[in-house]
Amino acid sequence: MKIYTKTGDKGQTSLIGGRVFKDDVRVEAYGTIDEANSFVGKAVTELDAEKFADILADLEAIQHELFDAGGDLANVSSRREWKLDPKAVEQLEKRIDELMEEAPELERFILPGGSPAAATLHIARTVTRRAERQTVALAKLDAELPGTPQQYLNRLSDYLFACARVVNARQGISDVEYIRSAKVFRTNKKSKDE
């Protein structure tokens, strides 16, 4: 089987139910989701299987959910069926809460970095934010597009932030604080004496 078809040589690509130019906002949105998914996959290769079993399970599920989200954005057929389950958003919220309980207290903005895996997760986070912005632009043009992909991307970027912080913490690596930041976050964690 050849992977090249030559059908895109004139700048168009196939969607589910149609064709558009490769610079179409729809292609930009699902293409950026694919890019984020690639960075999630890179982070998976940088994590120890024993120390990060829970996070690796999350990331594997996320990769499938990102594929679902991309498929939903690529669907322009007359009978659209959506793949991304809204329960995926709720699951991310649950995991964000759990990870933020584990992460060290946060008072200032932090810079992307620390361990290689945390740095990759921060790249995935920023690419996810770009995918979210592009999905917002697409939603303005496609009133039938469900809100789930946009909500999922919004929540996923928060998950990746929390995840990067926990990855650093479990490896004994401090987050890099932005040195010119004032204290912008208030801690909600109770002291150990309470």
Residue 82 has pLDDT above 50, yes or no: yes
Please indicate whether residue 11 or residue 98 has the higher confidence score (pLDDT): 98
What pLDDT band is residue 188 in, cutting at 50, 70 and 90? low
pLDDT level of residue 193 (50, 70, 90 thresholds) = very low
* CA proximity to 28, closest of 78, 73, 75, 77: 73
pLDDT band of residue 186 (cuts 50, 70, 90) is low
Q: Residues 7-23: what's their mean pLDDT?
A: 78
pLDDT tens digits along 46-74:
999 999 999 999 999 999 999 999 999 99
Please tell me the predicted confidence (pLDDT) of residue 4: 76
With cut-offs at 50, 70 and 90, classify the pLDDT of residue 189.
low
- The per-residue pLDDT for range 98-145, each reduced to its tens digit, is 999 999 888 888 899 999 999 999 999 999 999 999 999 999 999 999
What predicted TM-score, i.e. pTM, was given to this entire model?
0.89
Q: Are 15 and 74 within 8 A, CB to CB?
A: yes
Categorize the per-residue pLDDT at 6 as very low, low, confident or very high, splitting at 50, 70 and 90. confident
121 near 131, Cβ under 8 Å? no
Percent of residues, the chain, with pLDDT higher than 90: 71
How far separated are the first and last CA of the chain, in Å rounded?
Answer: 65
Chain segment 141-176, per-residue pLDDT in tens: 999 999 999 999 999 999 999 999 999 999 999 998
Q: Is the pLDDT of residue 192 over 70?
A: no
Give how far Cα 173 sits from Cα of 31, 114, 125, Å.
Answer: 33, 6, 19
